[in-house]
Amino acid sequence: MTPLKTGSKTDSKTAVKPAQNGAHKAAIRQENEEQILAAAEKVFADYGFKGATTALIAEVANVPKANVHYYFSTKEALYRRIMEDVCDHWLEAAMTFDNSADPAIILRGYIEAKMDLSRARPYGSRLWAHEIIRGAKFSSDYISTTVKNWLDSRVVVIRGWITEGKMDHIEPYSLMYMIFATTQHYADFGAQIEIFNNDQPLSETQFAEAKENVVRIILKGVGLNG
């Protein structure tokens, strides 16, 4: 519950940099914030902004409801904070789509990164899905600037590959939408996939095979043989 408390005691008396002063208090704060953020991500992912309740978030986080408001002033502030976190992780995956050598390698890397992200942070993906389904009220700025700029620059790269004859003449947006859709489907529609899989979550092996299948179909589909 209260980690880091004793750890700092063994430090030398000179301030090493990570404070030993307010160490306990700081640890409490960090612990509680993390617990609330994790609970909120889950609850918002299940019910969306409007459907989620601060009472349920508090219950999942195992803190009194008033404590949620002590750390995050309003439901909306909490929601925005989580959206930021999700976007940061999305940007990480986006970075794997770089300018290095082979188109097939780049696309494969990006698809695999997005599949891994769906596997590792399904709640983030679902939260994003809620946000877009609802009409992107909170995040339209972020999409129309950061995400759009990133996407448009990738489209330019892909068009370059096409004119160089490295892949088929395919509208890059259609390709990117297919990658978004398919990779995120494994998070957003995980409940459905689990039912189809005889009520068992996809095993690591099954997921690895799915990932490889997605990569293969898409690469071959656009005329790339990695």
Partner DNA sequence: ATTTATCTTGACCGTTTGGTCAGGTTAAAA
Partner DNA sequence: TTTTAACCTGACCAAACGGTCAAGATAAAT
Residue-wise DSSP of 140-152: HHHIIIIIHHHHH
Nearer to its own copies, 20 or 161 (CB): 161
Closest CA relative to residue 113, chosen from 90, 130, 131:
90
The CB-of-208 to its own copies minimum distance in angstroms stands at 12
Does residue 183 contact residue 111 with C-beta atoms inside 8 Å?
A: yes
Binding mask 182-211 for its own copies (x = CB under 8 A): x-xxx-xx-xxx-xx--x---------xx-
Chosen from DNA, its own copies, none, partner binding at 201 (C-beta under 5 to 8 Å by type): none
- Least separation in angstroms between residue 60's CB and DNA is 13
Q: 114 near 93, Cβ under 8 Å? A: yes
Q: Does 55 bind its own copies (CB under 8 A)?
A: no
Q: What beta strand segments (E) does the chain contain? A: none
Of residues 75-94, which lie at the interface with its own copies (CB under 8 A)? none
Judged by CB under 8 A, the residue of 5, 25, 29, 148 near its own copies is 148
Q: Minimum CB separation from DNA for residue 33, in Å?
A: 9
The sign of the CA dihedral 184, 186, 189, 190 is negative
- C-beta closer to DNA: residue 79 or 90: 79
Q: Which of 15, 91, 156, 217 binds its own copies (CB under 8 A)?
A: 217
Per-residue CA distances from 41 to 35, 94, 144 (Å): 10, 21, 23
Q: What is the DSSP letter of 203?
A: P
On the 0-12 / 13-18 / 19+ scale of CB atoms within 10 A, 187 is: buried
Cα separation, 146 vs 149, in Å, equals 5
CB of 41 to DNA, least distance (A): 15
With CB under 5 to 8 Å by kind, the binding choice for 88 among its own copies, DNA, none is: none
- What's the distance, Cα to Cα, between the start and end of the chain in Å? 48
Do residues 68 and 47 touch, judged by C-beta distance below 8 A?
Answer: no
Q: How far is the CB of 57 from its own copies (least distance, A)?
A: 14
The contact set with DNA (CB under 7 A) reads 2, 21-25, 28-29, 32, 52-56, 63-67, 69-70, 73-76
Q: Does 50 bind its own copies (CB under 8 A)?
A: yes
Contact 131, 103 (CB under 8 A): no
What is the binding site for its own copies (CB under 8 A)?
A: 45-51, 126, 129-130, 132-136, 140, 143-144, 148, 151, 168, 170-171, 173-175, 177-178, 180-182, 184-186, 188-189, 191-193, 195-196, 199, 209-210, 213-214, 216-223
